Amino acid sequence: MELENIVANTVLLKAREGGGGNRKGKSKKWKQMLQFPHISLCEELRQTTEKDYGSLCERQPIGRLLFRQFCETQPELRRCVKFLDAVAEYEVTPDERRKDCGHELINKYFNPKSEEDYVSEVEEAMMTRCAERLQLEACKELFKDCTKLIHDYLSVAPFADYLDSMYYNRFLQWKWLERQPVTKNTFRQYRVLGKGGFGEVCACQVRATGKMYACKKLEKKRIKKRKGESMALNEKQILEKVNSRFVVSLAYAYETKDALCLVLTLMNGGDLKFHIYHMGEAGFDETKAIFYAAEICCGLEDLHRERIVYRDLKPENILLDDHGHIRISDLGLAVHVPEGQTIKGRVGTVGYMAPEVVKNERYTFSPDWWALGCLVYEMIEGQSPFQQRKKKIKREEVERLVREVEEEYSSKFSEDAKSICKMLLAKDPTARLGCQGGGASEVKGHPIFRSMNFKRLQAGMLQPPFVPDPQAIYCKDVLDIEQFSTVKGVELDPKDESFYSKVSTGSVPIPWQNEMIETECFTELNVFYEDGLVSRDLDWRGQPSPTPKHGLLQRLFGRQDCCGNCSDSDDEPTRL
């Protein structure tokens, strides 16, 4: 039995390392699997794609890169893009160096004598105001109005020219690939990592790119038996909507005969509960706790910006990635709060539910800030504020403590740590930090974060306090993960198909495009010229190449030319 676990772990580690060789986990036929269609096949996409500058040139990663490649062909546009990059660099520069960086930027881009770099699109009065404000304070938002002006300029004539260029044609080809059907054969499957509410979670790898993910399986019969359709669809739609460095991303959603599958960011570093209680003495030092608290705060800010209240913040739902950064996971209880409205619902985990939730009162985002207070307390103390670990306390008693009793603080808490916990754990939500109109900015403004550069944190530029061991598997042994029992007495019928089709929608644009860039597929495939001529797939004079026909003998006896999307492709590792 131990051998089975060793084999499962070895195969997973091998896949995580890229499987050896130069392909970094890609299939032998990955270029065939990601072959661009001829541009003439993208006309329907051209007609149906909304011509929105923000979406096509800023938010979609491949669109952003292609628009910038287009701008590189014209000096005045290249200058604008260089200025935008310089401002982005200024915003993430450490506080002590930001003023010097600002002066360099002004001298380079606001100086009429600097012909090559001078951005004439910015009004002189605005340039003067920026220079004057820089003398007083090098605030991160100094050039905000300037960048808006540049984007306004780029979004008119340059954007219209881009839509008529080969760069936009190439974007349509990428979108065509992005929209291809997703099936179980898009992935290689690896060992089970844990259990979700409706089925197992296992590691998987995209055959075409080598990118590793976690596949959360929602068994169709189990969903139906527990009437979990709306919960499953809600989680899928929220994951799809949120694009945050601090929340797990949904990259693909597909179905098999028995299950709906959500393919999510793979977090190899284990959860915070494991690290709080199983890595030596319980709890973290304050520096480590505050780093994680800052990243969680950013994740909550991104959720709340989309008007989503999370409602299940606890250590086991906070996962670490390979580099030691955290992401919020398991959005099964998250819900959208309509603008100007409040909601109610007694949901969450005992000990982390806010007093207003326990009392079944109405709320918006206040429960998340309460739970952050519980989590900061637990990370420092090594114990939850209202429950003792491994000590059975009745639910009613925990809820009484939450409603009525003040938490106690040991000598592990500095004055700042004690202060932020007390402010987040205010029983009255109207007096709670984060709930007085400023949201996350109130929390970020607490003195405990005085040395935290949130711009750099949000750009992923700060070094985490702990980096997981790349050779470790931070989850239970395969045989220790309890298996689900067979669901009996439930039959699937055709009317369920409507629900399945809402969940299994294929690739999610931003994560899919990021995958293409991160795995270097974009760089390798994004070729515009072959031997000095425009590549054939972009040449309107050419036509799509017909599929080569095999002769009778080849069809009968030859090896079929596999696209690599089939489970019997010749280069796949052992499936477990």
Contacts with 477 (C-beta within 8 Å, 6 or more apart), sequence order: 5
Residues in a beta bridge with 553? none
CA–CA distance, 362 with 185 (Å, rounded to integer)? 45
Nearest one of 299, 310, 315, 345 to 235, comparing CA atoms: 310
CA–CA distance, 309 with 429 (Å, rounded to integer)? 14
324, 466 in Cβ contact below 8 A?
yes
CA–CA distance, 307 with 301 (Å, rounded to integer)? 10
CA–CA distance, 204 with 216 (Å, rounded to integer)? 10
CB neighbourhood size of 101 (10 A): 18
Contacts with 173 (C-beta within 8 Å, 6 or more apart), sequence order: 36, 37, 39, 42, 537, 538
3-state secondary structure of 475: coil
Give the torsion sign (CA, 141, 143, 145, 151).
negative
CA–CA distance, 76 with 119 (Å, rounded to integer)? 8
Give the 3-state secondary structure of 13-53.
HHHHCCCCCCCCCCCCCHHHHCCCCCHHHHHHHHHHCCCCH
| Residue with tokens 């960086």, as numbered in its chain | 101
The token duo for 198 is 């409706």
Long-range contacts of 252-255, Cβ-Cβ distance < 8 Å, separation of 24 or more: 252/182, 252/186, 252/213, 252/506, 252/507, 252/508, 252/512, 253/182, 253/503, 253/504, 253/505, 253/506, 253/508, 254/182, 254/183, 254/184, 254/186, 254/504, 254/506, 255/500, 255/503, 255/504
151, 121 in Cβ contact below 8 A?
no
Is 225 a known ligand-binding residue? yes
CA–CA distance, 465 with 498 (Å, rounded to integer)? 46
Nearest one of 308, 330, 309 to 319, comparing CA atoms: 330
443, 426 in Cβ contact below 8 A?
no
From 312, 330, 368, 537, the catalytic residue: 312
Active site residue 312: yes
The token duo for 16 is 């995580």
Amino acid at 189: Q
Annotated binding site for ATP: 225
Q: Which residues are catalytically annotated? A: 312
Annotated binding site: 225
